[in-house]
Amino acid sequence: MKKRKGLTPPHPPQRGGVELVNPLVQAQMKTYDEALALFHQQKYAKAKQELEKVLEGPSKELADRARMHIKIAEQRMKPTSEQNPRNAEEHYQRGVAMMNLGRWDEARESLDKARKLAPKADHIVYAVAALDCLTGEADAALANLKIAIDLRSANRYHARNDEDFAFLQEDPRFTELLYPEKDGIGL
């Protein structure tokens, strides 16, 4: 007699926390990927058109990502005199844009300026933590992520599925920070 394995169905395939079972989500992901390719080729007008199509799909997470890239594309299409960030939010958006392009030094410069202007803005501290992680600075990433979580506890849940923190996935300090409910369980 064969033993039957658990009756729980396997988790649906995911990419970056987005389920890929629904064919509409798959189509939305394909459009998003094509839009990002255009974005990275600095074809911002075409990328914006494709990203706007992503907004109509069923995945809220992909739509949120598309909205962020639309804002950045719009910023990049402005004349250069308008691209000079004047406040914390503009420095933050420029920093995130530079992170997405892999331009770490420029990202750090913009995010540091944003943080000086708005030290209690959790999304800015979270972005600094993500940048620290992407640049291999584990201790700084953990310290900044803890601050971001202290400022807004929802950041704990965002970090659990954020690919920018992949470098820390095996670090027990990261697990303790993101899953504090496990402390003291299992004596």
Domain residue limits, the chain: 16-77, 87-179
Q: 81 pLDDT exceeds 60? A: no
Q: How far is CA 23 from CA 4, 37, 58, 64, 144, in A?
A: 30, 21, 10, 19, 38
Instruction: Report strand pairing: 14-15 vs 18-19.
Output: antiparallel
| Torsions phi, psi for 129 (to 5 deg) | -60, -45
pLDDT digits (tens, 9 = 90+) for 95-106: 999 998 889 999
Q: 186 pLDDT exceeds 90? A: no
CA angle 152, 154, 155 (to 5 degrees): 75
* Residue that has been written with the tokens 């719009």 in this structure: 74
Rg of the chain's alpha carbons, rounded to an integer? 19
Residues 6+ apart with CB under 8 A from 103: none
Query: 10 Å Cβ neighbour count for 39?
Result: 23
Q: What percentage of the chain carries pLDDT values higher than 70?
A: 83
Which numeric CATH code is attached to 87-179?
1.25.40.10
Q: Judge residue 85's burial from the number of C-beta atoms within 10 Å of its C-beta, 0-12 exposed, 13-18 middle, 19 or more buried.
A: middle
pLDDT digits (tens, 9 = 90+) for 20-31: 578 899 999 999
Q: Judge residue 71's burial from the number of C-beta atoms within 10 Å of its C-beta, 0-12 exposed, 13-18 middle, 19 or more buried.
A: middle
Q: 121 pLDDT exceeds 80? A: yes
Residues 6+ apart with CB under 8 A from 21: 12, 13
